[in-house]
Amino acid sequence: MAFIVVTTVFVAFISYLIYLLNQRRLFFKIRDEMGIGGPSPHFLIGNLKQIIERKKQIGYDDSYQFMAGLHEIYGKYVGIYLGRHLNIHVTDEDDIKEIYIKNFSNFSDRVVPPIFEQSKLISSLLQASYADGWKRIRSAIAPTFSTGKMRAMHHAVESKIDTFLKLIEEKVDSGEKFDIYDDYQALTLDVIGKCAFAIESNSLNNREEVFYVQARKFILHTDIRHSVLITSSFVFPEFTSIWKMFYRFSQLALSQAPLVGGLENVYERRKNGEGRGCVDLLELLIERENSVKDAMSKEEVIQNCFAFLLAGYETTSTALAFCTYLLAEHQQVQQKLYDEIQEVKAEQGFDYDSIHGMKYLDAVFKESLRVYPPVIHFITRVCLNDITINGQFFPKGTNVSVLPYNVHMNEKNWENAKKFIPERFLDWNDKGSLKWIPFGVGPRYCVGMRFAEMEFKTAIVRLLDRFKLELYPDEPKLVPACNGVIMRPKDPVRLRLTKRV
């Protein structure tokens, strides 16, 4: 009897394995049937094999460069398999416009790892919601990023930058080298704590603070490279039910719990009148709960405050680190920007409107994000129905991706694309252009773009007003590396800062 049971189980297992392998074979035929090129996939992990091998060879993840090289080989369409999932990467501006704007209704859903469905917080975030649900949430949150609200939040941002500059001055006076990227990360987290939840965190002066430690820990565990569970759910979706069983015991779930609990406590205190009147995202969303039909629920308010944390913390700090390095590397650009800063300071002083009106600062902002766009792998959509775009057929279920770096480095879009030339944006007409997409493209572009721009520009203006930036000759040249969906400096960003007289 036991022999029969064991034999039956063994045969069933082998049969299921053969079925899965056959399914993989069918999935791997889709790219060829579409007439799109790409590297040969491994029968289990797809083209992750090439990415892993390249990382072992050079010591870090440069998948943005890897994809750029594939476009040079295979043309404007490249098919990449992540496990069995086919991602079609596009770089042509006409294709991007057709897919992400004109035919948006057929490409409205983002690609989300199956395991994230177990997290109500993550699966319901503004940037990860499905179908038309994102429209209602976006319509509720968009007014909180109006120009008027940005002016009001600017004072809170300035106060955190004051603390940042005081810390930088102390480090400069000490004469020791320091990693300004690390300080930018603390700054942006303190800014988000203040402007999203009215939390007076002090990560800049205390890296052991609870909010800082919890946020860093959670973000680390959302990185696909550091989570076997997330990677497995992506590569082997056939076993999603098994991965979901393990989710509750994962570091992702465990690190999420204290942050959610803290946000819920802040929410309840605010609902009961404590701290009301503050100008922050949580307050503005709570106000809408009672004044707008079909407003967001408590869970949705918390989810979207959390989305603000995820979307705005590492991206802005990374963008600031890259820009600071570029200014230290290009002294003429730094001097030209400094001259504009001093002119505006003498005539108007620094406030939201005067900083927003600096033309060369805006050019530096745009060019820095063109050369080093922080977000690498997030502008991905699912094809909801069979469709033909500019003569290319896309079957239902295919994922379509646009990598900002590849678009920004395309010589057809930008002459001398690899060079840092802010002047290219001084007379640039961006209306309808899809050549610059660091904040995404189409109706689901980053809703917090204005806030990120305001924080970025204010920090750069205040820093350059106080310090001159230079490279250390003995420090390694900046090398971008992928960190999940984020492109960040591979090494610490140590620069020589000199106080201006």
Each residue of 193-216: pLDDT tens digit?
A: 888 877 888 889 988 888 888 888
CA–CA distance, 182 with 189 (Å, rounded to integer): 11
Q: What would the pLDDT profile of 26-40 be if each residue is shown by its tens digit?
A: 788 889 999 999 999
CB atoms closer than 10 angstroms to residue 385: 12
The pairing of strands 399-401 and 85-90 is parallel
Q: Tell me the three state secondary structure of residue 126.
A: coil
More confident residue, 73 or 247: 73
CB atoms closer than 10 angstroms to residue 277: 7
For residue 272, pLDDT over 60 is answered with: yes
Q: Which of 212-221, 320-329, 392-401 has the highest mean pLDDT?
A: 320-329
User: Which residue type does 439 have?
Assistant: F
CB 51 within 8 A of CB 66: yes
Q: Which one, of 206, 180, 181, lies nearest residue 193 by Cα?
A: 206
Average pLDDT (351-368) is 96
CB atoms closer than 10 angstroms to residue 448: 25
- Tokens in use for 307? 């989305």
Reported pTM: 0.90
% the chain with pLDDT above 90: 42
201 HSE (CA, 13 A, CB side): 29
Between the alpha carbon of residue 444 and those of residues 130, 384, 435, the distances in Å are 11, 16, 17
- Tokens in use for 356? 């927003």
- Terminal-to-terminal C-alpha distance of the chain: 90
- Please report the pLDDT score of residue 119 as a whole number: 61
Q: Which one, of 378, 480, 403, 485, lies nearest residue 60 by Cα?
A: 480
- Tokens in use for 327? 């200014």
Question: Which CATH number characterizes residue 31's domain?
Answer: 1.10.630.10
Count structural domains, the chain. Answer: 1
Judged on CB neighbours under 10 Å (0-12, 13-18, 19+), 430 is: exposed
Q: Which one, of 220, 219, 217, lies nearest residue 207 by Cα?
A: 217
Q: Is 446 annotated as a binding residue?
A: yes
- Please report the pLDDT score of residue 290 as a whole number: 64
In which domain, by residue range, is 348 found?
2-499
- Please report the pLDDT score of residue 127 as a whole number: 47
CA–CA distance, 451 with 156 (Å, rounded to integer): 12
Question: What distance separates the 2 farthest-apart alpha carbons in the chain?
Answer: 92
- Tokens in use for 431? 């209306």
